[in-house]
Amino acid sequence: NCSVTVELKDMAGYEKYLETAAASGIPYDIVILKPGGTNENPREYEFHEEEFWYADWVNKGLMKDITEEISTYFPKGLEYIERLPNAKSYDDRIYAVPKLFKSFRVYGALCTPEVIKNYGSNKIHTYEDFIRLIDTNLEAGVDLNINLAFCQLLDIYLQDVSMIRLIAGTVYDTTDRSIHYIEDTDIADVVINQYKKYYDTGILERQPDDDIYVTDYRTFKFSEFGNNQDPYFAKTAADDSLLLIGGGKNDVFYWYSISAAAIFTTSPQTERALMLLDFINSGNEDITDILQFGVKDKHYKKSQDKKIDLLEVGTVFWSESLMNYESEAIVFSFEENADEWKECLLNTRVKEIVPGVPNQKIFQMFKYLPEEMKQAVRERTSLSDITFIEY
C-alpha cells in the first residue's frame, strides 16, 4: 500500500450553507439531501428509499425535517419552495443538521505491488513524488490504469506551493496571506499540462471529455470494487495523518473524502449524545472510523469489542462545522447558548503544516458572531499565533 502524508483541508463551497444559517439565526446547517447515483451511472441521481444513506440520521432524530417551514427561514428561496409539492419521503426534503461535522479532505493512493516496487518507496509526500510514482512505472513499461481527477492533482500541487484552494477557483497564499483566482496564476497551467499528458497517453480511466476538469468530480465508483474491498481509513497513533488501505483493479487509485466527521457532545447524558453514541456503536466500521477521527482520546474510551463510551467530562463538545485543528483555512459557525465552542475551537497547539510557515486561521464567519463572543475570541487568540482574516 502507498500512504500519502499530504493532507489538505478544504471547505469546497460548504460555507455558503453556514453563512445562510448564521445570518438567519438558525443554529443548524441547512442541507438539501440527494440520493446516490446508480451503479450504471454514478452521476445520475435515482432515488431508492432503501438505499438512502442518511436514513439512520433522520430516523434517530439527528436531522430535523424543515421542508414545510423552510419559507419561514428563507422567504426568497423560491427554487426550494417550488419543489415541496413533489418532495418524497426523503428525496428532495430539506433538513436542518446539528453542527457536528468536521469536514476535511484526505488523499490516498492505492498501488499494486509492481507499481510500488518500481517507485521504490511506499510514501508520497509531494506533488513531485506523485508524478514520479507514475513516471517511473511508465518508464518501466507498466500498462498503467490510473483513476485520477484533475482537481485532485491540483490540490496536491497547491499544498506544495503553500497555497490552499478555498472555493472552486480561488486560492489562499499562506506566504503573504493573499487570495487569488487560480486563472490569474501559472499554477493551473502547470497541473493542466501534466494532467493532459497523462490523459492523452490513455493511462487515466476514461472520463467524459466535459468532466475532465470539473471541480470535485468524484472518481471513486463503489460498484467497481465490491463491498468487502472498499478502502477504509486506518488511524495512525503518532499523529493525525491517515493511511488509506484497501484494494481494487486500478494500479494507482487516488481517492479523497470530504464527508468525514468528528462528533462531540455537550454532555454524555443528553438524549442527543445517547442517540449519537448508539449510532457510533452500530457496528458499521466505515461510519465508526469516520466519526471517531479528530475526537481526542480524552473524550472517549474504546472497549475490546470496539464499543465507545463517552467519558464523564464537562468539556466534550458538539464539533463546529469545518473545525480542523491543524488546518490553515478554517470556516466556523456557532451554536447559540453553547459556551464550549470556544474551547473546542481554540484549545489546541497549532502545528506548522508547511514547514517554516506559521499557520493562519481564516475565520469567515467571525463577522456573524455576537460582539461578546467576538471579544472572547480576541482575548483567547491574543495568547496564540492565530490570525483573523475577515472577507
SS3 per-residue string spanning 251-283: CEEEEEECCCCCCCCCCCCCHHHHHHHHHHCCC
pTM score > 0.85 for this model?
no
DSSP letter assigned to residue 206: P
Whether 350 shows a pLDDT value over 70: the answer reads no
Summarised one tens digit per residue, pLDDT across range 156-199 is 787 678 776 654 456 667 677 666 767 678 886 788 788 878 87
So what's the pLDDT on residue 148? 73
Question: CA 49 to CA 196: how far, in whole Å?
Answer: 40
So what's the pLDDT on residue 139? 94
78-87, 132-141, 283-292: which has the minimum mean pLDDT?
Answer: 283-292
Contact between 271 and 241 under an 8 Å Cβ cutoff? The reply is: no
Summarised one tens digit per residue, pLDDT across range 244-294 is 222 223 334 333 333 323 333 333 333 334 444 454 555 544 444 434 433
Range of 17-26, 51-60, 102-111, 300-309 with top mean pLDDT: 300-309
Mean pLDDT of the 115-144 span:
83
Q: For the chain, what percent of residues have pLDDT higher than 90? A: 2
Mean residue pLDDT across the chain:
50
So what's the pLDDT on residue 135? 93
**Cβ neighbours of residue 308 closer than 8 Å, sequence gap 6 or more:** 277, 280, 281, 288, 292, 300, 301, 302
Cα 306 to the center of its chain, rounded Å? 24
Question: CA 200 to CA 28: how far, in whole Å?
Answer: 45
Whether 119 shows a pLDDT value over 70: the answer reads yes
Summarised one tens digit per residue, pLDDT across range 289-308 is 434 433 444 445 666 665 65
At 214, the pLDDT band (50, 70, 90 cuts) reads very low
Nearest of 8, 65, 15 to residue 321 by alpha carbon: 15
So what's the pLDDT on residue 382? 55
At 140, the pLDDT band (50, 70, 90 cuts) reads very high
- Where in the chain are the domains? 28-98
